[in-house]
Structure formats: C-alpha cells, structure tokens
Amino acid sequence: MTVKDNLKYFILFTFFIRSICASLNPVILIPGDGGSQIDAKLNKTTSVHYLCQKQTNDYFNIWLNMELLVPFIIDCWIDNMKLIYNNRTRTTRNSDGVYLRIPGFGGTESVEWLDPSHASTGSYFHPITDLLVSLGYQRNITVKGAPYDFRKAPNENGQYFIDLKNLVEKTFEENNGRPIILIAHSMGALMSLHFLNQQDQGWKDKHIKTLVTLGGAWGGSMKAIKVYAIGDNLGSYALRESIMRLQQITSPSLAWLLPSPLFWKSNEVLVQTEKKNFTLSNLKEFFYGISYPDGWEMRRDTEIYQLDFKPPGVEINCIYGTGVDTVERLYYKPGTWLDGYPALVMGNGDGTVNLRSLEGCRLWQNLQQQKIFPKSFPKVDHLGILRDKGVLEYISNLVTSSNRA
C-alpha cells in the first residue's frame, strides 16, 4: 500500500469518526455524595497529631486516598476534610490553613476514578464512560464530567450551578447544537433537579435531551440518620464508623439528605429508644440528644431544597435498584441511649436509599408534559448500579436510540 493510499484511508477514517461524533447527543456526568475527587493544600500552624503534615508545597489528593484512611493518619484526614459551621453566617469553612479544590471540572477523569491511581476501589463513573466510548463517544468531547464539593448543599454551591450551565452551553455548541444527556448518580439527581429548576423552560427545551438518574435520593434517606448517630464505614471493615462520623456529620449535604417530610410522615418513628421516640416532628431533640446541635441548624438551612420538589421539565429516565436491605429505623434496646449502638431495622431499597425515595420521580408523572420512565433493577445496590450489566445495557439502548432520533 502506498503512502497516498494510507493517507486516503486515514482521511476516510477521520471523516467516519467525525461523522459518528457529530450524530451523538453529548453526555455530562453528575456525581453524587462522595463522587468527586478532592485535592488539598496545607499551610497550618498546628496539627491534631504529631504524624500530621502541616504544610505542603502543592495540592495532593485527599479524596479518595486510602493511604490517608489508616489508623492515626486518619485523624489528620478528618481535620483536613471536616467543615466548621457558623450559625451566624449559615455557612461552613475548612479548618484553618486547609485549602481544598475540586479538580477536573469538564473532564471525565475525576468522576471516572475517585482514586487518581485508578485502583479498582476508586472506580466510579468509569464503567459507564467506557461503555459510552465503545459506542463512539470521546472523553472530554462528547462525554464530560461535572464534579463539585459534595460536602456542601445547594446554598453553598452557587458557583457550581453557574459553571454547570456554562458547561452545558459550551458542550452544546461544540457538538453541533445537539442537546445534552445528563447522567446523575444519587445526590447528583438532586443537584440536577435544583439546577434544572433554576433554568427557564425554553433553555431546557433547547439544551437538554434527557436526564438519566441512577439511584436518585429524591426524598433523602434514613441512612443519613444512621450516619449522624453512629457514622458509616463506607463498606470497609478496616474503617471505624465512629471515627468516620467525626468528619461525615460536618457536611451540610448530609443534612440535605435527611428523610424528607414529603416522603416520611411527621409522626413516623425514625429512632426508637426506651425513653423517647424521634420523628421528623421532634428531630431537633434528636440532634441535641447526640450532642450535635449544628446538625439541626444545617437541617434548617437545607430543608427548603427538599420542599422545593417541582418537576424538572425534562424527560427523565429514573433508574434504581430494589430488594436490598436498607435502614428504615434505628432501635436502641432498653437500658441504652443515643450514645450506644442501635439495631438497624431494615426495609426495601438499594442498600443506601429507601424505596419510597428512589421512586420519588414517579410523583411527577402527571405534573409535567415531558415523559418519565421509571425502571427498577432487582438486587442492584446503590454503587453497583454504576456497573450493573442490565443498567449498562439500558443506558446503551437509551443513548443509541436518542442519537437516532
């Protein structure tokens, strides 16, 4: 084959690839709680442990960095990752001398992999991105990522929604005016809902093809109550719930993910003890009972976003898992109080989000013109939904049929 023939085939191949890319509806990935990398830079004068580093010359990965979640060193991690609440300004800040940033906005790397080393434990949107690439998508061109500081709720993520709108518009223009498919996981569904409800209908009709939600926590989750009470070990036996709790409860996003009054009755028992039962109607007493009144203040700041549950005005493919044991209630046996360890009374859900919350998208079926397609997958858990074969096949069929439309 001559050089001229090689050049001809290269030109034809390039034209073929470009023609495929030109016909694709671009995808933007919106992560959930814990679904974005976080970098840190330190310039501290004190530390919580003599092993803790106080100063760094540059930023380093702090989430997800498993090397920092080991005994003793985890104390440093907590001090660097926690937020400090100010009930006068109703905002949070990092510890003194700690500077955090969310890397990779607009790219896929920092939402595909929570661990920059690409360790399997840090895989997040990677299976979905790989699927999209196999269908003709290109990373950072027709599939992009929109990470954010998942520790915070919408009231402290205002710039993110501005940046997300700009990313949608830029991606729309770069891809021949083809509307965007938003794929959001968990709390990302709520972030997407808030974002879309900020836009006028004309903008959504022009720029958004569909919203795909995976395990959307539409009405919050009882797991948030569990985290406030005893913490969460992220599914790792090497981590202690009580230690992780010291950082987890400082995030306003956790308050945002508390059970919503739209999905839980005000008198439904969430925490049962011998002395008193706690419901949404006396949740303030629960926070004072666990000696964390700031949690109640954050609840007050974020509940408005739960109650603002208007339909998003776009087509929705609402995908979720079912049939996995999920916390429904905390039960403290007689003789114990909130400083003890409760039994977890289980119900239906995806292991993290309760079924009533996962199905929340169904409430909009008669409230908007755009179609809503709920789809449940039995025995698929909250993180497994990102790599489940059936879910990936659903997404594949969705994006290919969308691109033919």
Catalytic machinery residues: 186, 350, 382
Distance between CA atoms of 222 and 224, rounded to whole angstroms? 5
For 10, the token pair is 């290269």
Assign 242 to helix, strand or coil: helix
Query: In one letter, which amino acid is 105?
Result: F
What secondary structure does DSSP assign to 27-92, as a single string? EEEE--TT-S-EEEEEB-S--SSTTS--B-SS-EEEET-GGGSSTTHHHHHHHHH-EEEETTTTEE
Distance between CA atoms of 32 and 26, rounded to whole angstroms? 20
Q: Where are the alpha helices (DSSP H) in 336-388?
A: 355-358
Distance between CA atoms of 17 and 139, rounded to whole angstroms? 14
Q: What does each C-alpha distance from 391 to 121, 186, 189, 276, 320 come to in angstroms? A: 20, 15, 16, 42, 9
